[in-house]
Structure 1
């Protein structure tokens, strides 16, 4: 074992209190973070000493400690005891003292409670924390999950996403009001058809599409559940002739073997490399050639929205120019080999959408958008949120416009979306 790895293994054993454990496996993996940096992790599996023989290769024995350690920061990303059973010496907490747990998290992460993280939800043996800045939530947000058993022993500690320093935030006083944003809220009310599996029919409903409004009123940031660096394209694709023969999918390999030298030299993840103008031009050509084979009659029907890197492939997202009112829309994702800059595989959600073809058509719409807005006007919420702005490369203060209620377009009933 490399001396540097061995030192980290010994550090982990002493820090977690793994006196009654033996190291079973160790490997290194890497992740790209939202700031386009690379994090290297030392992943370890520790078996309890009383496990002399284990034949099930697909499942770790109860009591196994699975631990991921950030090689650079020496902070634990994950501590998981399989089956909720821990034999670790220490890591025991007073279940009635939340402050003891918070203090331990502060010490292990270097974060300050109330300033950089706060409680999002608390259950009997589980506590969920979310990232914040001076108590204000963040999007996209890092999160922490802490779980313990009835005796107070830590059974799970997981840090997901990135937590950012003060320098990443453009600090401001929140100054937006619902009165100022009434027209924006009106514009965000959309009519969509929601499939109901219980009734096997499509139900038309008005709802407010979430959006972030910048605190300085210079613009908006769309609500995106999955945020990553991307290159916006917005190009309608045309071609004159098809290419004979079906498109042949290639096997997608997302696994990689990381060497010790790569980890300790902090070699950048391939997904952090920019998508150059030449890459874009070649990728557009690859997407068009894919469509000419797989969807030869669709010239002018697809818009290439953006490119982004993921799992060492360039991903191209396409959306149809024409779409209906259904909440789930058609989408294509074409995976482009970065070595050949040719399409290697694709994902089409049409098979998912086909499930709703047997549903009864939407009922007649009797309520106007304006009427729907008036029905939910008092239920619209505006909350301060720091949102990452890829142009400024900082988190900027925004107001999140949202509403938990919708209006049935066939009869005007106001319903809670969660219940629906």
Structure 2
């Protein structure tokens, strides 16, 4: 084992009371996080010393699975398989200690401050759920901390995921969005969608709102997907057609490697995370040409049927999402997802969700709407929530105050009934 990893493993064994355990396996993974340039995790599987022989790649009850941030050396995940905590001298808080003691332990472990950087979201019979915050205002993308205990009240799981901004990353300002400001924006965002009701074997037309963010200065509406992925996500919406006829189909799919595992050499070198790089004008042009050529080979009868909807980065690839140029109101649309080499822009593989559409082909069409969008908005108005949230801005590497628009309800476009969407 590399010396740096050896030192981390020894510190882990000492700090978490794993003297009666031995290190069985370890790996290094790269985590994609839009708010962090690099995040490498040193993952270890510690077996109890009296473990009997088990099948290869299986972890016996009581195995401690630990993930440490390679560069900051902070704990990211810690869990005992099947909740069996066999640590002899418990250094962890216990369920009986209460949530205040557990939160104090989280503060000490993470270096984060309760109230300033995270808040209590939920307290359950077996633990607590915490969320990233800036002075008790949520942030997005979401950061979470979970602490759970087993039946004996001993620690069984700790995890910290996502980002927790520092004070220097927050653009402090009073929340200025009022109903008079946001109502016209929300009305513009409302959509008429058709949802499948499988038990009733029909489609239901529903007016509803999509989750979006409105900047506090009222200058911009940020779609949920854009806020989640930011510069590595770009909406293109460009129609794809070609003048030439069909061409020879020479496309051969190549297996896609979606593994996060990396070598110790790469992790220690910490190269810039390519998945966080913006989609440039050159990326757009070359990706479009590659997508066009692919369609001409694999879907020669679909000239002028598709549009390049978005480009994004994932696991080192550029992902091109294609949607039909002409779409109906159904929430499930045919979609092609193409995996492109991020350097050569060659299409390596693709997926087509057409088989999902076939599952709903027998459903009866939705009734025609009897309500206008304005009438539906009036019925939904009291159910629409606009709450302050700090959203990460990759350009300035800060969090800007926005209003998050959310609504759990929709309006039946035929009857005018207000319905809870989760119950459909």
- Aligned counterpart for 2:239 among listed residues 236, 240, 248: 236
- Three-state SS of the structure 1 residue aligned to 2:423 is coil
1:246 Cα shift? 6.8
1:300 Cα shift? 2.2
1:392 Cα shift? 4.3
- Three-state SS of the structure 2 residue aligned to 1:336 is strand
| 1:187 is aligned to 2:191 | no
Alignment of 1:211-230 (within 5 A): 211-224=212-225, 226-228=228-230, 229-230=232-233
Alignment of 1:13-412 (within 5 A): 13-35=13-35, 37-54=37-54, 56-88=55-87, 89-90=89-90, 91-95=92-96, 97-224=98-225, 226-228=228-230, 229-240=232-243, 241-245=245-249, 247-255=251-259, 258-272=262-276, 277-412=281-416
Q: Deviations over 1:201-245 (max 9, x none)?
A: 101111122221111111211122853522443322221222233
Cα distance in structure 2, aligned partners of 1:227 and 1:258: 22
Larger mean CA deviation between 19-28 and 301-310 belongs to 301-310
1:280–1:352 distance in 2 versus 1, CA, 3 Å: same
Q: Which runs of 5+ in 2 are unaligned?
A: none
Q: Compute the TM-score of the two structures, normalised by the length of structure 2.
A: 0.93
1:257 Cα shift? 5.5
Contact 1:94 1:100 in 2 (8 A): no
Cα distance in structure 2, aligned partners of 1:275 and 1:391: 13
The alignment covers a number of residue pairs equal to 419
1:62 Cα shift? 0.5
- Three-state SS of the structure 1 residue aligned to 2:101 is helix
1:71 Cα shift? 1.1
Q: Deviations over 1:122-156 (max 9, x none)?
A: 22113221111111111211111111113321111
1:302 Cα shift? 1.9
RMSD over aligned CA atoms reads 2.0
1:260–1:231 distance in 2 versus 1, CA, 3 Å: same
- Three-state SS of the structure 2 residue aligned to 1:375 is helix
Contact 1:205 1:406 in 2 (8 A): yes
Cα distance in structure 2, aligned partners of 1:208 and 1:280: 29
1:296–1:255 distance in 2 versus 1, CA, 3 Å: same
Cα distance in structure 2, aligned partners of 1:51 and 1:263: 31
1:116–1:64 distance in 2 versus 1, CA, 3 Å: same
1:52–1:404 distance in 2 versus 1, CA, 3 Å: closer
Q: Compute the TM-score of the two structures, normalised by the length of structure 1.
A: 0.94
Contact 2:95 2:126 in 1 (8 A): no
1:323 Cα shift? 0.6
1:213–1:341 distance in 2 versus 1, CA, 3 Å: closer
Q: Which runs of 5+ in 1 are unaligned?
A: none
- Three-state SS of the structure 1 residue aligned to 2:272 is coil
- Three-state SS of the structure 2 residue aligned to 1:285 is helix
